[in-house]
Amino acid sequence: MDGDGIFRIVLADDHSLIRHGIKNLIKKQGNLQVVGEVSDGEELLDFLKTGPVDMIILDISMRKINGVEVAGRVKKEYPQVKILMLTMHDSQQIFYNAMMAGADGYLLKDDSGDELLIAIGKVQNGRKYISPSLTEGVTDDLFRMYRGGKKNLHQKLSRREKEVLQLVVDGNTSREMADKLGLSPRTIDHHRSSLLKKLNKKNSVDLVNFAVRSGYIKSR
């Protein structure tokens, strides 16, 4: 935000009509200003080098670099910049991926113009925003994960199991984990089986999703 209290927004969407509609909504708000428009992730990263930006309204499905990857790169280089995802994707998994990448809000293109302004206001004030279309499912999912063991994970898992869990999340094979931890692949497989049993998961994919989405293990 500049000295005059103007909140500077960049629109990143490969559809010019979408950008035009958002710009028309925003320009009616005295404290919001669209300072740039880009059509893909590479253009966005280039634009951010040219001057200060407070928020990016970012589409997920874009050419060259998808919005989730762009969000992660932006947050690493410009952690102070707020990111509001605006997308047609109502998948909870895509939502989780976006939020893990650093998004501050997630709005669907089917939501109203008024909802867009609500989302901008919440994110502008340092809060997280989730589209009303996703809120109930996400809340239920997070509650199940918490009730299913997040608050007791430290008590449930041994130090070695925590190490193995992080390596699983990082995408290592059993052989790679064995080499890194100085153990046999059979011992690694034993720890993986123990993790699945303790966390009540069916396979490694479920294990990774739970560990990352619950906030216990970070995807790197």
What pLDDT is attached to residue 180?
92
Residue 81 and residue 55 share a domain = yes
Any domain includes 95: yes
Residue 160 and residue 82 share a domain = no
**What CATH number is given to the structural domain containing 67?**
3.40.50.2300
What pLDDT is attached to residue 139?
58
Which percentage of the chain shows pLDDT scores above 70? 85
- E strands, the chain, are 7-12, 32-38, 55-58, 82-87, 105-108, 129-130
Provide the 3-class DSSP secondary structure of residue 33: strand
What pLDDT is attached to residue 150?
47
The total number of structural domains that make up the chain: 2
Any domain includes 143: no
Structure tokens at 172: 């290592």
Any domain includes 77: yes
| Cα distance between residue 30 and residue 20, in whole Å | 17
Instruction: Please tell me what DSSP assigns to residue 152.
Output: G
**What CATH number is given to the structural domain containing 192?**
1.10.10.10
Note down the domain range covering 53: 7-136
Any domain includes 220: no
Residue 127 and residue 32 share a domain = yes
Residue 124 and residue 35 share a domain = yes
Which residues are paired to 32 by β-bridges? 7
* Residues sharing a CB contact under 8 Å with residue 121, sequence separation 6 or more, in sequence order: none
Any domain includes 34: yes
Residue 198 and residue 91 share a domain = no
| Cα distance between residue 166 and residue 52, in whole Å | 36
Any domain includes 33: yes
Q: CA Rg, the chain, in Å?
A: 20
Residue 181 and residue 105 share a domain = no
Which residues in the chain come in under a pLDDT of 70? Answer: 1-4, 136-156, 212-220
Residue 26 and residue 121 share a domain = yes
| Cα distance between residue 179 and residue 157, in whole Å | 21
pTM of the shown model:
0.65
Residue 158 and residue 116 share a domain = no
Pairing of strands 82-87, 7-12: unpaired
* Residues sharing a CB contact under 8 Å with residue 189, sequence separation 6 or more, in sequence order: 174
Residue 13 and residue 109 share a domain = yes
Closest alpha carbon to 9 in 29, 30, 34, 28: 34
Last residue of a domain, one of 136, 162, 195: 136
Any domain includes 112: yes
Last residue of a domain, one of 109, 136, 163: 136
What pLDDT is attached to residue 151?
46
What pLDDT is attached to residue 216?
57
Any domain includes 65: yes
| Cα distance between residue 101 and residue 184, in whole Å | 34
Q: Which helix (H) or strand (E) holds 28?
A: none
Residue 41 and residue 21 share a domain = yes
Residue 60 and residue 11 share a domain = yes
What pLDDT is attached to residue 154?
47
Last residue of a domain, one of 136, 161, 196: 136
What pLDDT is attached to residue 146?
45
CB atoms within 10 A of CB 66: 18
pLDDT digits (tens, 9 = 90+) for 140-168: 555 455 445 444 454 567 889 888 988 88
Residue 93 and residue 37 share a domain = yes
